[in-house]
Amino acid sequence: MPLPRISPVRLNQIVNGFSKSSIMVVGDTMLDEYVWGDVLRISPEAPVPVVQVQSRSHRLGGAANVVQNLKSLGVTPYLVSLCGDDVTGKNLREKLAQSGCSPSGMVVSPRRTTTIKTRIMARHQQIVRVDSETVGDLTMEEADALWSRFSSHLSQVDGVIISDYSKGVVSKPFLAKILAACKRRRMFVAIDPKERHFDLYKGVSVITPNLKEAHAALGLPYSRIDDRDIETLGWSIVRKLNLPFLLITLSERGLALFNRAAKTYTHLPTVAQNVFDVTGAGDTVISVYSAAITSKAKPIEAAFLANHAAGLSVAELGTACVSGEALLGACCGD
């Protein structure tokens, strides 16, 4: 299906509606740490570069980055997640507060380690990434605490985003309770998926896998495929998971939107001028798409906005947030 023309007046109407929208984000939060430096020599101990550290910085990651993206767009966000009772968890909650996002929905667990992804950078080139985390199912006490926070805010929101990084927050029983509660309210639910949980996502409003995850949804080995194969792959996922909509992120090739009721497949080519870092681009896509849908946009309009937001996001190093003003500037400059 060819991409329809969307007028600047209509785009303004949608983006201006973000401030009236509220969305709850449930999922795995993490802290992204960047160690900045330069390589001046090779180690005498092993054939590896020695990075002379010059500075360190921290950014919100995972579900926390989705919340931050929503806040930047003007949406009122609520976060339900879990972190450890450690320094990283304290830093994560402080970063949330500094970004204007309440950390009150964070369950602090003494049994878990807060996920931190440390990227060693030399002249803007990533040398290595080191992950420190606890991966595993939650205890009943932790799950009950998360449900309490979720249920207390559900009546205040227009939609729910599940940010699944497969660290433990998203489990079959917890997700089943969330989806049942949302179904009773006929509420929009978007999921940024992980491979091992695809069978849990049946019937939600939309999922936003990347191409590798889309292959995994069908148990297929990942391969770089052309547009015709993407269309076949997408419709197979729609049928398998009984989805009304599917939005596949295609990296430098843009997005692919599938509409089951209309039986349409639309490829939205990338609008990125520069691709510097794709970290967090999926968070940006699901944030903007969900913000638009809860602001009464049509799915193709929401995908159009999400595609332009992704183009802005990948031009930045690390996770990046897009404002409504910047998004309109990018869209209306076409």
CA distance from start to end of the chain: 19
What are the angstrom distances between the C-alpha of 101 and each of 60, 65, 97, 113, 115? 11, 10, 5, 22, 19
CB atoms within 10 A of CB 171: 17
> Rounded CA gap, 245 and 264, in Å?
10
Q: Mark 117-156 as b/e (b = at least 16 C-beta within 10 Å).
A: bbbbbbeeeeeeeeeebeeeebeeebbebbbebbeebbee
Please say if 227 is a catalytic residue. no
Q: How many residues does the chain have?
A: 334
- Using only C-alpha atoms, the chain has a radius of gyration, in whole angstroms, of 20
CA atoms within 13 A on the CB side of 142: 20
Q: What is the 8-class DSSP label of residue 17?
A: G
H-helix segments, 198-280: 211-217, 227-241
Provide the 3-class DSSP secondary structure of residue 31: strand
CA atoms within 13 A on the CB side of 236: 13
Residue of 137, 229, 283, 334 with catalytic role:
283
> Rounded CA gap, 180 and 152, in Å?
15
Residues with a known catalytic role? 283
